[in-house]
């Protein structure tokens, strides 16, 4: 193998640049040329492909986002899109690919592998919703960003003796909400995977205020409902002075944490080693602090399982 390509696809996640750097420099250290592909699979089809050098990835480790840019390109699910992408790979002499992204990105990586271009998928998404990995690239940074914002919100909540209902990202996965809820001392955490009672949450908040607490924090994962919708329901069970906050896309930005930089670097280097061994159609993960791989096709019939013990623990800690 003489030449590989790298692309980032789907939503951006802090640490993607660190992963690209690790892929590029590991490949170069083994005498393999590396080409970056801008705008994900859309850029692949368009031929927006350029050579990477050690210098071109020299200052990206600490940067958020992705300097390769990203885009969603559902057309790549169709044969025509795949064949046009393969035409560009052949034109540039690229023999294998590293794809950094989420579920949709993995479909593209598997399609290319089936057509003779080994591809390895790296889990780049803040949602932490990929099966067979304890952590995804960007998750820790998103949690750190959200926790920092909630710490600031608590200051004003306490000053005015208010309840804040705060929406965090995660699509249909509650991992960010659980991690951030515990870290920020939330009174309640609401996620889509587990049942909840708004009435019980209201009772808990009323009891907390009666016991002298001067504020309330409720973390709601975006896959449940909006913070405005939740507050409307909450007010049916209590006359709270309350506000809502949507943290939104700020959770995708910012410098990646040390944990994300190291995770992305380990996964990127490992992806190159797998390609050098002639392997493809694999998703890289980390389980019990050990790098692992699973067939990408197996991920599509599986579901990520979060650490739901955090909910019960937080319920005890927030009394």
What residue has token string 């990477």?
Answer: 52
Residue 252 annotated as binding? yes
| Residue spans of alpha helices (H) in the chain | 16-29, 40-46, 79-91, 103-114, 139-160, 175-183, 198-210, 227-234, 258-276, 296-299, 309-317
Whether 319 has a binding-site annotation, put simply, is: no
Give the CA radius of gyration of the chain.
22
Per the annotation, does 38 bind a ligand?
no
- 215 labeled binding residue: yes
Is 179 marked as binding a ligand? no
Active-site residue (options: 48, 55, 127, 288)? 127
Ligand-binding site membership of 108 (annotated)? no
What six digits make up the tokens of 137? 């690239």
Task: Please indicate if the annotation marks 171 as binding a ligand.
Answer: yes
**In angstroms, what CA-CA distances link 21 with 59, 99, 249?**
9, 13, 24
CA 174 to chain centroid: 12
Is 222 annotated to bind a ligand? Reply is yes
Answer yes or no: 127 catalytic: yes
Question: Do the annotations mark residue 125 as ligand-binding?
Answer: yes
63 among annotated binding-site residues: no
3-state helix, strand, coil split of the chain in percent (to 5) is 45, 20, 35
Flag whether 127 is marked binding. Answer: yes
Residue 182: both structure tokens together: 């515990």
Please state whether beta strands 290-295 and 282-287 pair in parallel, antiparallel, or not at all (unpaired).
Answer: antiparallel
**84 labeled part of a ligand binding site:** no
Is 288 annotated in a binding site? The answer is no
Residue 242, annotated ligand binder? no
Count the Cβ atoms, other than its own, within 10 Å of residue 50. 12
- Listed as own residue / partner, the contacts of 196-204 with beta carbons closer than 8 Å and 24 or more positions apart are 196/224, 198/230, 198/233, 198/234, 198/236, 198/237, 199/237, 201/234, 202/234, 202/237, 202/238, 202/240, 203/237, 203/238, 204/318
Q: Active-site residues: which are they? A: 127
**Which residues line the annotated binding site for Mg(2+)?**
103
- Enumerate the known binding-site residues for ADP: 21-25, 154, 185-187, 213-215
> Which residues sit in the known binding site for substrate?
125-127, 162, 169-171, 222, 243, 249-252
Q: What residues are designated binding site for ATP?
A: 11, 72-73, 102-105
Binding residue positions: 11, 21-25, 72-73, 102-105, 125-127, 154, 162, 169-171, 185-187, 213-215, 222, 243, 249-252
């Amino acid at each position: 193998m003489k030449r590989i390509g790298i692309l980032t696809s789907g939503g951006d996640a802090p640490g993607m640049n660190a992963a690209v750097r690790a892929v590029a420099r590991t490949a170069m250290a083994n005498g393999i040329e590396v080409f970056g592909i801008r705008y994900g699979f859309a850029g692949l089809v368009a031929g927006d492909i350029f050579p990477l050098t050690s210098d071109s990835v020299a200052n990206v480790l600490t940067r958020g986002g992705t300097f390769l840019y990203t885009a969603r390109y559902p057309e790549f699910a169709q044969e025509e899109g795949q064949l046009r992408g393969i035409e560009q790979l052949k034109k540039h002499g690229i023999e294998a690919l590293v794809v950094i992204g989420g579920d949709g990105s993995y479909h593209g990586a598997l399609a290319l592998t089936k057509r003779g271009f080994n591809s390895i998928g790296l889990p780049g998404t803040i949602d932490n919703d990929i099966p067979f990995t304890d952590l995804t690239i960007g998750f820790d940074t998103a949690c750190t960003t959200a926790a920092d914002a909630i710490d600031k919100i608590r200051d004003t909540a306490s000053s005015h003796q208010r309840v804040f209902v705060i929406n965090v990202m995660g699509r249909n996965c509650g991992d960010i909400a659980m991690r951030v809820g515990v870290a920020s001392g939330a009174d309640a955490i609401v996620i889509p995977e587990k049942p909840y009672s708004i009435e019980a949450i209201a009772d808990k908040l009323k009891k907390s205020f009666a016991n002298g607490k001067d504020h309330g924090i409720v973390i709601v994962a975006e896959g449940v409902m909006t913070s405005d919708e939740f507050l409307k329901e909450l007010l049916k069970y209590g006359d709270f002075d309350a506000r809502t906050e949507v943290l939104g896309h700020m959770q995708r930005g910012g410098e990646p944490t040390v944990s994300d930089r190291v995770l992305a670097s380990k996964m990127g280097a490992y992806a190159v080693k797998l390609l050098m061994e002639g392997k493809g159609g694999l998703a890289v993960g980390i389980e019990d602090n050990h790098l692992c791989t699973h067939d990408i096709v197996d991920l599509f019939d599986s579901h990520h399982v979060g650490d739901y013990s955090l909910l019960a623990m937080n319920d005890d800690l927030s009394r």
